[in-house]
Amino acid sequence: MPEPTVLALDVGGTKLATGVVGADGTVLSFRTVETAVHEGPDAVVGRLLDLAEKTLAEAGHPEVVAVGIGCGGPLDPDTGVILGPPGLPGWDEVPLARMVTERLGLPAYVENDATAAALAEHRWGGWGVDSLVYLTISTGFGGGVVIDGELFRGAAGQGGELGHVVVDWQGRECGCGARGCAEAYVSGTSIARRATEAVELQQRDISAPGVEPRTPAPSGPESSLAGLPVITARDVAEQARLGDDLARAVWDETTAMLGRMVAVIINVCEPALVVLGGGVTRAGAFLLDPVREGALRQAMPPAAAACDVVLSHHGDRAGVLGAAAIALHRLDETGREAP
């Protein structure tokens, strides 16, 4: 009996990714394209499926048995409907699984992208642990939990929505409408926004207390970020590494908040591993080292002693591997046999 091959689709606020993935996690083909979320769900899904067909052709049109789809939540994994994620404005009640099945003629399974990536880390990360938490730090910020080898979904299927754990109850407004969510501080979007606010404050020569909470106060020489037309999280990391005071203040706040968040996760879940992934982790040790130190220092000693904090090895393909892992997992759950 040949091992099944699946098509994997990753829907993000900034980019779309598609891949053809074998049962052992081998990526046979991989493509990405800009999301252009402002065009609306119909146009984005059409572009995603066009990209998927090119990816299948690039892989030599293998016999694919299912499609896995990772997308930011909230969503309904049972019906495959997207329920208005903050990172995908306008995606309200979008029947994504049905749209994919109608176009490709294959069963399609939808899951929160970070939850899916957690399953991929457990299945193909090579960590050798039964319990882990995965955090994706990208356009948004989310998480997924695997406990004793089982994916945690919760009573409503949204379990592991760690991006909306409150780290500062009077803090910054989050895209979900609440205040002080972790996503409002550690996502790539938030890093860029806070740096932009700080540059504007510095240029206006006013103090920080009258603006959004925790925006770093403008002080010292003008930031090197001030000359950029658009500030990104990558710019903040690069300039912080080079010693820019303002960029460093934003970056230090980010790693401090993330370290506190990871400490909470360690205390609540007691995983053997917390894996960090997503585009912001391209900063490498400059992100990992302060987050790991802060998390293990603030967590309860027995839980901290049993846990480590690491970076994912999957890079830009983490989302596609997560979607593939979900497809294979759902096939196992339904008992569907590969051809």
Reported as a single tens digit per residue, the pLDDT across 91-141 is: 999 999 999 999 999 999 999 888 999 999 999 998 999 999 999 998 888
How far from 143 is each of 9, 211, 248, CA to CA, in Å? 18, 29, 26
Alpha carbon 310 to its chain's center: 15
Per-residue model confidence (pLDDT) at position 337:
46
- Token pair for 201: 């404050």
In Å, what is the CA distance from 272 to each residue of 128, 145, 153, 157, 302? Answer: 10, 11, 19, 23, 11
List the beta bridge partners of residue 70.
10, 111
pLDDT of residue 171: 83
3-state secondary structure of 66: strand
What is the CATH code for 5-120+316-334? 3.30.420.40
Instruction: Output the CA torsion sign for 2, 16, 326, 274.
Output: positive
Q: CB neighbours (10 Å) of residue 40? A: 13
Count the residues in the chain: 339
Could you tell me the CA-to-CA distances from 211 to 23, 200, 217 in Å, in that order? 51, 11, 10
CA-only gyration radius of the chain, Å: 20
> Tokens in use for 179?
């205040």
**Alpha-carbon distance values, 222 to 75, 192, 210, 218, 226 (Å):** 43, 17, 20, 9, 7
Give me the residues of the chain with pLDDT under 50, please: 206-211, 213, 337-339
pLDDT of residue 335: 64
pLDDT of residue 220: 66
Question: In this structure, what token pair is assigned to residue 62?
Answer: 């293998």
Report pLDDT for 216.
Answer: 56
In this structure, the dihedral spanned by the alpha carbons of residues 251, 252, 256 and 258, taken in order and rounded to 10 degrees, is 10
pLDDT at 30: 96
Report pTM.
0.86
> Of 3.30.70.100, 3.30.420.40, 2.60.120.680, 1.20.1250.20, which CATH number belongs to 126-312?
3.30.420.40
Cβ-count burial 97-116 (b if 16+ within 10 Å, e if not): bebbbebbeebbbbbbbbbb
Residues of each domain in the chain carrying CATH 3.30.420.40: 5-120+316-334, 126-312
Q: Tell me the β-bridge partners of 144.
A: 134
Side by side, the strands of the sheet bearing 75-76 are 75-76, 81-83, 92-94
Query: What token pair was written down for 308?
Result: 């480590």
- Angle at which helix 188-204 crosses helix 245-269, to 10 degrees, equals 150
CA angle, 144 as apex, 50 and 131 as ends, to 5°? 130
